[in-house]
Amino acid sequence: GAVVSQHPSRVICKSGTSVKIECRSLDFQATTMFWYRQFPKQSLMLMATSNEGSKATYEQGVEKDKFLINHASLTLSTLTVTSAHPEDSSFYICSARGGEITEAFFGQGTRLTVV
Amino acid sequence: GENVEQHPSTLSVQEGDSAVIKCTYSDSASNYFPWYKQELGKRPQLIIDIRSNVGEKKDQRIAVTLNKTAKHFSLHITETQPEDSAVYFCAASFNDMRFGAGTRLTVKP
Protein backbone atom coordinates (compact mmCIF):
# COMPACT_ATOMS: atom_id res chain seq x y z
CA GLY A 1 0.00 0.00 0.00
CA ALA A 2 0.84 3.66 -0.17
CA VAL A 3 2.92 5.30 2.54
CA VAL A 4 1.88 8.16 4.78
CA SER A 5 4.50 9.54 7.13
CA GLN A 6 3.57 11.55 10.20
CA HIS A 7 6.01 13.48 12.40
CA PRO A 8 6.80 13.78 15.16
CA SER A 9 5.71 10.47 16.67
CA ARG A 10 5.93 11.90 20.18
CA VAL A 11 6.11 15.43 21.47
CA ILE A 12 6.03 16.99 24.91
CA CYS A 13 5.39 20.69 25.12
CA LYS A 14 4.73 23.28 27.77
CA SER A 15 1.28 24.68 28.33
CA GLY A 16 0.71 27.76 26.20
CA THR A 17 3.09 26.82 23.42
CA SER A 18 2.21 25.65 19.91
CA VAL A 19 3.01 22.34 18.28
CA LYS A 20 3.06 21.49 14.58
CA ILE A 21 2.41 17.98 13.31
CA GLU A 22 3.22 17.05 9.72
CA CYS A 23 1.53 14.46 7.55
CA ARG A 24 3.16 13.54 4.25
CA SER A 25 2.08 11.21 1.48
CA LEU A 26 5.35 9.77 0.21
CA ASP A 27 4.36 7.99 -2.98
CA PHE A 28 1.01 9.39 -4.08
CA GLN A 29 -0.80 12.68 -4.38
CA ALA A 30 -3.20 13.15 -1.50
CA THR A 31 -6.17 15.15 -2.68
CA THR A 32 -7.81 14.71 0.71
CA MET A 33 -6.33 14.41 4.18
CA PHE A 34 -8.19 13.68 7.38
CA TRP A 35 -7.13 14.53 10.91
CA TYR A 36 -8.34 12.44 13.82
CA ARG A 37 -7.96 12.40 17.55
CA GLN A 38 -7.94 9.06 19.33
CA PHE A 39 -8.35 8.69 23.06
CA PRO A 40 -7.09 5.52 24.78
CA LYS A 41 -9.13 2.48 23.80
CA GLN A 42 -11.56 4.65 21.86
CA SER A 43 -12.42 5.34 18.28
CA LEU A 44 -10.98 7.75 15.75
CA MET A 45 -12.80 11.05 16.15
CA LEU A 46 -12.75 13.09 12.96
CA MET A 47 -11.48 16.61 13.62
CA ALA A 48 -11.34 17.99 10.10
CA THR A 49 -11.27 17.12 6.42
CA SER A 50 -8.74 18.93 4.28
CA ASN A 51 -8.70 19.16 0.50
CA GLU A 52 -5.58 20.43 -1.22
CA GLY A 53 -5.76 24.14 -1.88
CA SER A 54 -8.98 24.63 0.09
CA LYS A 55 -9.81 25.57 3.63
CA ALA A 56 -10.31 22.62 5.94
CA THR A 57 -13.81 21.58 6.97
CA TYR A 58 -13.90 21.28 10.73
CA GLU A 59 -16.22 19.03 12.69
CA GLN A 60 -18.66 20.51 15.14
CA GLY A 61 -16.96 21.25 18.42
CA VAL A 62 -13.46 21.49 16.98
CA GLU A 63 -12.04 24.99 17.33
CA LYS A 64 -10.55 26.03 14.01
CA ASP A 65 -8.50 28.78 15.64
CA LYS A 66 -6.96 26.30 18.01
CA PHE A 67 -6.32 23.47 15.58
CA LEU A 68 -4.90 25.10 12.47
CA ILE A 69 -4.83 22.86 9.43
CA ASN A 70 -2.92 23.63 6.27
CA HIS A 71 -2.97 21.51 3.13
CA ALA A 72 -0.90 23.61 0.78
CA SER A 73 0.37 20.81 -1.44
CA LEU A 74 -0.72 17.40 -2.65
CA THR A 75 1.79 15.68 -0.41
CA LEU A 76 1.75 17.67 2.84
CA SER A 77 -0.77 18.66 5.44
CA THR A 78 0.01 20.15 8.82
CA LEU A 79 -1.93 20.39 12.06
CA THR A 80 -0.84 23.09 14.48
CA VAL A 81 -2.15 22.94 18.02
CA THR A 82 -1.99 26.53 19.20
CA SER A 83 -1.72 27.59 22.83
CA ALA A 84 -1.76 23.97 23.93
CA HIS A 85 -3.25 23.00 27.27
CA PRO A 86 -3.09 19.72 29.19
CA GLU A 87 -6.57 18.76 27.95
CA ASP A 88 -5.17 18.78 24.40
CA SER A 89 -2.94 15.85 25.32
CA SER A 90 -3.97 13.01 23.05
CA PHE A 91 -3.05 10.81 20.11
CA TYR A 92 -3.44 12.65 16.83
CA ILE A 93 -3.43 10.68 13.59
CA CYS A 94 -3.78 11.71 9.97
CA SER A 95 -4.90 9.76 6.95
CA ALA A 96 -4.68 10.58 3.27
CA ARG A 97 -6.28 9.40 0.07
CA GLY A 98 -5.69 10.08 -3.56
CA GLY A 99 -9.26 10.23 -4.78
CA GLU A 100 -12.89 9.75 -3.89
CA ILE A 101 -14.21 6.33 -3.05
CA THR A 102 -10.75 5.04 -2.31
CA GLU A 103 -8.76 3.74 0.61
CA ALA A 104 -7.29 6.20 3.08
CA PHE A 105 -3.81 5.42 4.38
CA PHE A 106 -2.88 6.33 7.92
CA GLY A 107 0.19 7.97 9.34
CA GLN A 108 1.78 6.45 12.42
CA GLY A 109 0.22 9.03 14.72
CA THR A 110 1.58 11.63 17.15
CA ARG A 111 1.38 11.29 20.90
CA LEU A 112 1.09 14.84 22.26
CA THR A 113 1.64 15.51 25.93
CA VAL A 114 1.13 19.02 27.25
CA VAL A 115 2.70 19.69 30.63
CA GLY B 1 -23.38 14.80 9.36
CA GLU B 2 -22.75 11.09 9.07
CA ASN B 3 -23.16 8.93 12.15
CA VAL B 4 -21.70 5.44 12.24
CA GLU B 5 -22.68 2.95 14.90
CA GLN B 6 -20.79 -0.29 15.45
CA HIS B 7 -21.64 -3.41 17.44
CA PRO B 8 -20.54 -5.26 19.45
CA SER B 9 -17.90 -3.29 21.32
CA THR B 10 -16.15 -6.49 22.37
CA LEU B 11 -16.25 -9.95 20.85
CA SER B 12 -14.56 -13.09 22.06
CA VAL B 13 -14.51 -16.27 19.95
CA GLN B 14 -12.72 -19.59 19.93
CA GLU B 15 -10.09 -20.18 17.30
CA GLY B 16 -11.72 -21.52 14.18
CA ASP B 17 -15.10 -19.95 14.86
CA SER B 18 -16.57 -17.09 12.85
CA ALA B 19 -16.83 -13.47 13.95
CA VAL B 20 -19.38 -10.94 12.75
CA ILE B 21 -19.26 -7.19 13.35
CA LYS B 22 -22.12 -4.94 12.30
CA CYS B 23 -22.31 -1.24 11.48
CA THR B 24 -25.05 1.17 10.55
CA TYR B 25 -24.74 4.58 8.96
CA SER B 26 -27.08 7.52 8.65
CA ASP B 27 -26.08 9.45 5.49
CA SER B 28 -27.50 7.89 2.35
CA ALA B 29 -24.89 9.80 0.33
CA SER B 30 -22.08 7.65 1.77
CA ASN B 31 -20.67 5.52 -1.02
CA TYR B 32 -17.56 3.89 0.38
CA PHE B 33 -17.31 1.60 3.39
CA PRO B 34 -13.87 0.46 4.54
CA TRP B 35 -12.94 -1.78 7.44
CA TYR B 36 -9.71 -1.20 9.32
CA LYS B 37 -7.79 -3.36 11.78
CA GLN B 38 -5.74 -1.67 14.46
CA GLU B 39 -3.28 -3.60 16.56
CA LEU B 40 -2.03 -2.18 19.82
CA GLY B 41 0.33 0.73 19.24
CA LYS B 42 0.02 0.57 15.46
CA ARG B 43 -1.75 2.55 12.80
CA PRO B 44 -5.06 1.31 11.37
CA GLN B 45 -4.67 -0.90 8.30
CA LEU B 46 -7.33 -1.49 5.68
CA ILE B 47 -8.49 -5.11 5.55
CA ILE B 48 -11.38 -4.86 3.13
CA ASP B 49 -13.66 -2.24 1.63
CA ILE B 50 -16.87 -2.09 -0.36
CA ARG B 51 -18.40 0.51 -2.60
CA SER B 52 -22.07 1.35 -2.69
CA ASN B 53 -22.68 -0.29 -6.05
CA VAL B 54 -21.70 -3.70 -4.66
CA GLY B 55 -23.61 -5.86 -2.19
CA GLU B 56 -20.90 -8.25 -1.12
CA LYS B 57 -17.15 -8.66 -1.35
CA LYS B 58 -14.91 -11.46 -0.20
CA ASP B 59 -11.18 -11.80 0.28
CA GLN B 60 -10.11 -15.20 1.57
CA ARG B 61 -11.40 -15.46 5.16
CA ILE B 62 -12.85 -11.96 5.21
CA ALA B 63 -16.12 -10.80 3.68
CA VAL B 64 -18.18 -7.66 3.83
CA THR B 65 -21.86 -7.24 3.01
CA LEU B 66 -23.70 -4.00 2.37
CA ASN B 67 -27.42 -3.30 2.53
CA LYS B 68 -27.92 0.21 1.16
CA THR B 69 -31.64 0.22 1.79
CA ALA B 70 -31.22 -0.55 5.46
CA LYS B 71 -27.97 1.44 5.67
CA HIS B 72 -26.00 -1.30 7.31
CA PHE B 73 -22.89 -3.27 6.51
CA SER B 74 -21.16 -6.16 8.20
CA LEU B 75 -17.74 -7.73 8.46
CA HIS B 76 -17.47 -11.50 8.53
CA ILE B 77 -14.29 -13.30 9.51
CA THR B 78 -14.30 -17.07 9.13
CA GLU B 79 -11.88 -19.61 10.60
CA THR B 80 -10.58 -17.07 13.06
CA GLN B 81 -6.98 -17.26 14.23
CA PRO B 82 -5.28 -15.75 17.31
CA GLU B 83 -3.54 -13.23 15.07
CA ASP B 84 -6.96 -11.84 14.13
CA SER B 85 -7.16 -10.44 17.66
CA ALA B 86 -7.22 -6.63 17.35
CA VAL B 87 -9.60 -3.69 17.29
CA TYR B 88 -11.69 -3.44 14.14
CA PHE B 89 -13.23 -0.20 12.91
CA CYS B 90 -15.86 0.30 10.27
CA ALA B 91 -16.17 3.61 8.44
CA ALA B 92 -18.53 5.35 6.06
CA SER B 93 -17.31 7.88 3.55
CA PHE B 94 -18.52 10.42 1.08
CA ASN B 95 -16.48 13.61 1.28
CA ASP B 96 -15.25 12.79 4.75
CA MET B 97 -14.59 9.48 6.51
CA ARG B 98 -16.17 8.72 9.86
CA PHE B 99 -15.52 5.71 12.02
CA GLY B 100 -17.57 3.51 14.25
CA ALA B 101 -16.63 3.08 17.89
CA GLY B 102 -14.60 -0.05 17.25
CA THR B 103 -14.85 -3.72 18.19
CA ARG B 104 -12.20 -5.42 20.26
CA LEU B 105 -11.96 -8.96 18.90
CA THR B 106 -10.24 -11.62 20.96
CA VAL B 107 -9.62 -15.03 19.43
CA LYS B 108 -8.86 -17.65 22.08
CA PRO B 109 -6.52 -20.47 21.04
Which residues of A are less than 8 Å from B45 in CB distance? 1, 106
pLDDT band at residue B1 under the 50/70/90 scheme: confident
What is the pLDDT of chain B when averaged over all its residues?
96
Strands B103-108 and B10-14: parallel
H helix or E strand, kind and range, residue A111: strand A110-114
Question: pLDDT tens digits for B60-93?
Answer: 999 999 999 999 999 999 999 999 999 999 999 9
As a whole number of angstroms, the distance between CA A44 and CA A38 comes to 5
pLDDT band at residue B2 under the 50/70/90 scheme: confident
As a whole number of angstroms, the distance between CA B102 and CA B9 comes to 6
**pLDDT given at position A99:** 80
Interface list for chain B against chain A, based on CB atoms closer than 8 Å: 1, 31-32, 34, 36, 42-46, 49, 51, 89, 93, 95-102
- Asked if the Cβ–Cβ distance from B99 to A43 is below 8 Å, we say yes
Query: Per this entry, what is the length of chain A?
Result: 115
**pLDDT given at position B27:** 95
As a whole number of angstroms, the distance between CA A76 and CA A72 comes to 7
As a whole number of angstroms, the distance between CA A101 and CA A41 comes to 28
Question: pLDDT tens digits for B21-59?
Answer: 999 999 999 999 999 999 998 999 999 999 999 899 999
- Asked if the Cβ–Cβ distance from A43 to B101 is below 8 Å, we say yes
CB B27 within 8 A of CB B96: no
**pLDDT given at position A54:** 87
At A111, phi and psi to the nearest 5?
-90, 110
- Where would I find the beta strands (DSSP E) of chain B? 4-7, 10-14, 19-25, 32-38, 45-51, 56-59, 62-67, 72-77, 86-93, 97-99, 103-108
Low-confidence ranges of chain A (pLDDT < 70): none
CA B103 to mean position of chain CA atoms: 8
Which residues of B are less than 8 Å from A105 in CB distance? 46
Rounding to the nearest 10 degrees, give the CA dihedral for residues B3, B32, B55, B105. Answer: -60
Residue A40 near chain B (CB below 8 Å): no
Which residues of B are less than 8 Å from A109 in CB distance? 43
As a whole number of angstroms, the distance between CA A113 and CA A27 comes to 30
Q: Which amino acid is at A90?
A: S
- Where would I find the beta strands (DSSP E) of A4-99? 4-7, 10-13, 19-25, 32-38, 44-51, 57-58, 67-73, 76-81, 90-97
pLDDT band at residue B4 under the 50/70/90 scheme: very high
